[in-house]
Amino acid sequence: MRSRKPAAVLAAAVCGSLALAGCAGGPSAAAGKLSDGKVVIGLLNDQSGVYKDLSGPNSKVAIQMAIDDYKAKYGAKAVAKTIEIVTADHQNKPDIANTKAQEMYDRQNADIILDVPTSSAALAVATVAKARKKLFIDVTAGTTALTGRSCNKYTYAWAYDTAMLAKGTGEAVVKNGGKSWSIVYPDYAFGQDMQKSFTAAVTGAGGTVQQSIATPFPNDNFATFITKAGSTTPQVVGIMAAGGDLINFVKQYNQAGMQSKAQLAVGLMFITDIHSLGVDQFAGTSFTDPWYWNLDAKNKTWADKFLAKTGTRPTFAHAGNYSAAMNYLEAVQGAGTDNADAVIKQLDGKKINDVFLRNGQIRSDHRVVHDVYLAKVKSKDQVTEPWDYEKIVATIPAADAFEPVSAACKM
């Protein structure tokens, strides 16, 4: 032990002098310099499992589109001359998300992590971001906790949350006469969250929830649950399952002849779900969509570019990743550095109108509020081209679409 002491002193001295040198070089470094000469964007999502199609590898294409647009816009004036994307597969598991996020921030020098579907994984990454003091913009996870009790200075939620989906769909369907509901939900965090939000939204709008039925997750046989849901002859059956389970449910719902008896309302739906089940199985179904590729010419132009690169139409997650990456790079440009605290100053309170966000604003709790859309799935004869599946019934203005800032959020 004694012999090591001089070494420790020496190490401390070296560190100290390095730190001083760093300070001395400080002013010039802050003037438009990047931490390691480049900006590294980490894309952490499901690259192989159930959420692969709705975000997955194609989100990298979307982020690359943002990088290209940024470079084209600023050219020689761009602060970030070299921009890299690193990707990792979190397999929808919070423990893997945690490790991968640390790896990205520490070893790959990621300045920001994007996307991260699956609520539990997103919450894990938010914790890492807070500890490392690095940015995290979540796009594809739906939990309200990201900007509620688990909110922090370094974490933003860009696209949607469960409360917004419930408010949009629940209120609109009740207003259109769907007053009595049966809710079927998968019995895990996301499903329980959705069930609570929808019950609040439906009863708040003057409707009644006759029964809420919990189902196992994952599950491929919903026949008995459907019989049960129909037993009280509700006007609306609300299904909170996602992905493959949602498709199982809808197939069996239609096979049981329920389509003509009760209107179907879906909690969370991606356009890939409609594509994989076929439009006629979903025809007439109401849901809330944060973004739709064929809403207007602006969206369509972007979607055409995306189609040319990927061979498929973008989901709202793809557009959300583009928007998050673009606004991050703009903030780096504005700050003149990729230092997280400086970038946050640029982002906070920012009003945004881009291809993804309309009347968007970054709120104090780091939830991005924006106009969202009440959609109905078209019937087969209304579809004019591939992926043209949604009819936008109403635009829900940003101010009404989201819950107010939660008191539970303390940054």
Query: Which stretch in 6-14, 49-57, 130-138, 362-370 sits in contact with another protein by CB under 8 A?
Result: 49-57
Residue 214 or 342 having the CB closest to another protein: 214
Exposure class string for 257-269: b at 16+ Cβ within 10 A, else e: ebbeebbbbbbbb
Closest CA relative to residue 182, chosen from 222, 240, 243, 223 = 240
**Residue 273 binding another protein, by CB under 8 A:** yes
Shortest distance, CB of residue 187 to another protein, whole angstroms?
Answer: 8
Percent of the chain as helix, strand, coil, to the nearest 5: 45, 20, 35
**What type of residue is 123?**
L
> How far is 227 from 283, CA to CA, in rounded Å?
21
**Residue 130 binding another protein, by CB under 8 A:** no
**Residue 338 binding another protein, by CB under 8 A:** no
> How far is 250 from 68, CA to CA, in rounded Å?
40
Shortest distance, CB of residue 322 to another protein, whole angstroms?
Answer: 20
Shortest distance, CB of residue 397 to another protein, whole angstroms?
Answer: 31
**What type of residue is 109?**
N
Residue 105 or 282 having the CB closest to another protein: 282
Q: Helix H segments across 49-161?
A: 58-74, 94-106, 119-132
**Residue 220 binding another protein, by CB under 8 A:** yes
Q: Which helix (H) or strand (E) holds 405?
A: none
Contact 398, 370 (CB under 8 A): yes
Residue 31 or 385 having the CB closest to another protein: 385
Residue 296, SS3 per DSSP: coil
Site string for another protein, 188-217 (x = CB under 8 A): -------------------------xxxx-
Strand partners, 367: 157
**Residue 49 binding another protein, by CB under 8 A:** yes
Residue 41 or 269 having the CB closest to another protein: 269
Shortest distance, CB of residue 214 to another protein, whole angstroms?
Answer: 6
Residue 109 or 195 having the CB closest to another protein: 195
Q: Which residues ranging from 284 to 313 are in contact with another protein (CB under 8 A)?
A: none
Strand partners, 44: 88, 115
Site string for another protein, 229-248 (x = CB under 8 A): --x-----------xxx-xx
Query: Which stretch in 89-97, 161-169, 199-207, 255-263 sits in contact with another protein by CB under 8 A?
Result: 255-263
Residue 256 or 342 having the CB closest to another protein: 256
Q: Which residues contact 320 (CB under 8 A, 6 or more apart)?
A: 139, 140, 158, 159, 290, 291, 356
**Residue 275 binding another protein, by CB under 8 A:** yes
**Residue 391 binding another protein, by CB under 8 A:** no
Strand order in the sheet with 155-157: 83-89, 39-45, 112-115, 135-138, 155-157
**Residue 121 binding another protein, by CB under 8 A:** no
**Residue 254 binding another protein, by CB under 8 A:** yes
In this chain, which of 29, 78, 96, 277 binds another protein, going by CB under 8 A?
277
Strand partners, 375: 287, 392
> How far is 303 from 351, CA to CA, in rounded Å?
23
In this chain, which of 22, 30, 48, 106 binds another protein, going by CB under 8 A?
48
Exposure class string for 183-214: b at 16+ Cβ within 10 A, else e: bbbbeeebbbbbbbbbbbbbeebebebbebbb
In this chain, which of 278, 284, 349, 404 binds another protein, going by CB under 8 A?
278
Contact 127, 143 (CB under 8 A): no
Shortest distance, CB of residue 49 to another protein, whole angstroms?
Answer: 6
Exposure class string for 237-246: b at 16+ Cβ within 10 A, else e: bbbbbbbebb
The count of residues interacting with another protein (CB under 8 A) is: 41
Residues in touch with another protein (CB under 8 A): 48-54, 187, 213-216, 218, 220-221, 223-225, 227-228, 231, 243-245, 247-248, 251-252, 254-257, 270, 272-273, 275-278, 280-281
